[in-house]
Chains A and B, each alone.
Chain A
Amino acid sequence: MSTTRSFRPPGASSTPRAARRTSRLRRALRSWQLYVLLLPAIIHVILFKYWPMYGAQIAFRNYNPADGFAGSPWAGLEHFARFIGSFQFERVVMNTLTLNSLGLLIAFPVPIILALIVNQLQSERFKKFTQTVLYSPSFISVVVIVGMIHLLFSPRAGLVNNVIELFGGDPIFFMGMPEWFRPLYIGSDIWQNAGFSMIIYLAALTAISPALHEAARVDGANKLQRIWHIDIPGIMPVVTILFILAIGNLFNLGFEKVLLMQTDLNLQTSEVIQTYVYSVGLQQAQFSYSAAIGLFNSLINLVLLLTFNWIARKAGQSSLW
């Protein structure tokens, strides 16, 4: 840096600042090949991420294809007002909130508990076997998971109803009952994903110094006490960050699965903001109106993320930034 600054070729700009700028530019040019490597990814984010962000302005316009994103006439907040005033608003927002916060409260602790238990296992082989089995469902596609739910919980010849009948109960039409939608959704989510999240916590647990456990053992602490006083505080930073991220995704998570699990009969609980956007926007082609609903959704997400991140930072826990 210092050499390039003192070296001033004839004809170059006379101020040191301009010279510094040209030397930086020259350095950047010399590594032009790096920019070539970067180019496809940049084109990708511009086309498929930033252009849609720019296009999100149709939420404030009356979009028509001929005029494009920026040419369509302004509508102001009309679409937002229509959504908030619509009879669907309360149901859709409440369903989203209930499904996701219940899901978070119930499903979030499961992988942590599993990881704490698996971490205490003495037999390496049993440990490995457990891990493999528990996370194997995370490779199954959403479509197949929902297909499995349909089959296993079918009122006719479904495994679950066979068990119920074995104990003398009456078969239940699970997929047709609004009150069963949430338990099925959350339960199958735990079934599929708890194992994979467990691995992240296990990784965090292995980072805890074994010396701490040794010392605690010498002092006569039993396993439960060691989990409580060493393991849980040890993984708390990871837990906090994953929790904040989960909160930030509160309104996004599992939308594909909700869509697949929807039946005409359980819409009362299964219609969430994003499936509503899908059906209004893409099936009924009300682009601007549904874009406004989508934007409303993203806004709540961002606010939740920022709020919880702020709370975590205030509480002295680790935060995203």
Chain B
Amino acid sequence: MTQTVAPPTLPPTRKLPSSPAPQPRPRRSLVSRYADPLFNVIAVGLLLVAIVAIIYPMYFILIASVSEPSEILNGNVWVVPRGFTLEGYVQILSDAGILRGFANSVLYTVVGTGVSVAVILAAAYALSRKDLYGRTPLMLLFVITMFIDGGLIARYLVVRDLGMLDTMWAVVLPGAVGVWNLIIARAFFENNVPGELRDAAQMDGASDFRFFFSIVLPLSKPLIFLMIMIHLVANWNAFFDALIFLDSEDKYPLQLVLRNVLVQSEVSAAGGTGALDSYAAAQRLGELIKYGMIVISTIPLLIVLPFMQKHFTKGAMLGAVKN
């Protein structure tokens, strides 16, 4: 594109102004001359459409959460909130079930992330050591589980036999070690912990523990950060294990509470709304609560998103390379 635009703006000192700037390939066809600008226009246009298609629904939910439901019903809410109200949020923040779900989610997410990251890093380091006796069969032990699994029912029965049903551990433990993350972490250690370092430490009498905790881990901050982020998001968003393993409502994580409100439309469960005088009023509040809950449950992720951006892309690339 710059090629075709450049000649007229060239300073006149370089060439005689009367003679046209010589083209390297003067007989370019019309198609090839306009192919790139046309491509640029279509490409940027397509991307703009995609960007709007992604952003607008999210934006709409945000403004709908503070708009009067009747205004949405009448199709008046498009760009700015109409009939501004914070009732949905007031209701959400005063609802015991939702707040307890939030607290449970925080607990499960912190414990789950801690367990996963600790177990994965330790195992990945051991597996990254080329001098580990039995390294290949041990790795195979993990990789096999990527392709074969016992199925939903057997998993449920095992968790039941372990006596974990309806406890936090049923949500936190069964999915704790993802083989894919193990592979990423192992690749990181293999590429970033030089063997010479290990030899030097060994010469100085450092044990494997000592080397792992005081040298390898401090060297691996980007990896630790990436692992923490991956698990924070995964644990925060998880709902299925809670659905099948938890019975008592006071142990439900936020996603399960959300599911009951948003998908099952158990609106009455969401508001402690006994005082509402009519069905219409309940429905009105229900809509506000639904929009508001989407916003509130997504905010923690939007807060961490900028932090993980860089690392997440790196992780995705590492995954792609190891593929």
Contact A294 to B43, CB < 8 A, known contacts A151-B61, A152-B60:
no
Contact A150 to B262, CB < 8 A, known contacts A34-B132, A140-B301:
yes
A290 to B208, CA, bound (A): 46
**Are B255 and A141 closer than 8 Å at their CB atoms?**
yes
Contact string, B107-139, partner A, CB cutoff 8 A, digits 1/0? 000000000001110110111010111100010
Q: How many residues of A contact B (CB 8 A)?
A: 92
Closest CB of chain B to A171's CB: distance in Å?
A: 11
Main secondary structure of the interface of B (DSSP, over half): helix
B319 at the interface (CB under 8 A from A): yes
**Which residues from A are CB-within-8-Å of B301?**
139-140
B153 at the interface (CB under 8 A from A): yes
A178 at the interface (CB under 8 A from B): no
Q: Which chain B residues numbered 62 to 80 have a C-beta less than 8 Å away from chain A?
A: 64, 69, 72-73, 75
**Are B182 and A41 closer than 8 Å at their CB atoms?**
yes
Contact for A143 among B175, B176, B207, B255, CB less than 8 A = B255
Interface centre among A37, A54, A134, A159 (most CB of B within 10 A): A37
A208 to B39, CA, bound (A): 21
Closest CB of chain B to A273's CB: distance in Å?
A: 11
Contact string, A238-250, partner B, CB cutoff 8 A, digits 1/0? 1001100000100
**Are B158 and A137 closer than 8 Å at their CB atoms?**
no
A298 to B126, CA, bound (A): 31
**Are A134 and B263 closer than 8 Å at their CB atoms?**
no
Main secondary structure of the interface of A (DSSP, over half): helix
**Which residues from A are CB-within-8-Å of B265?**
150
**Which residues from B are CB-within-8-Å of A165?**
75
**Are B297 and A144 closer than 8 Å at their CB atoms?**
yes
**Which residues from B are CB-within-8-Å of A295?**
151
**Are A195 and B150 closer than 8 Å at their CB atoms?**
no
Q: A141-B238, A199-B316, A222-B39 are in contact. List 19 more A-B contacts (CB 8 A).
A: A33-B209, A37-B209, A41-B177, A49-B145, A52-B158, A63-B157, A69-B157, A136-B305, A143-B237, A146-B262, A147-B259, A147-B262, A151-B294, A200-B320, A223-B40, A238-B320, A281-B152, A290-B152, A298-B148
Question: Which residues in B have some Cβ–Cβ distance to A below 8 Å?
Answer: 25, 28, 32, 35-36, 39-40, 43-44, 46-47, 50-51, 53-55, 57-58, 60-61, 64, 69, 72-73, 75, 118-120, 122-123, 125-127, 129, 131-134, 138, 141-142, 145, 147-158, 161-162, 173-177, 182, 207-209, 212, 233, 236-240, 244, 255-256, 258-259, 261-263, 265, 287, 290-291, 293-294, 297-298, 301, 305, 309, 313, 316-317, 319-321, 323
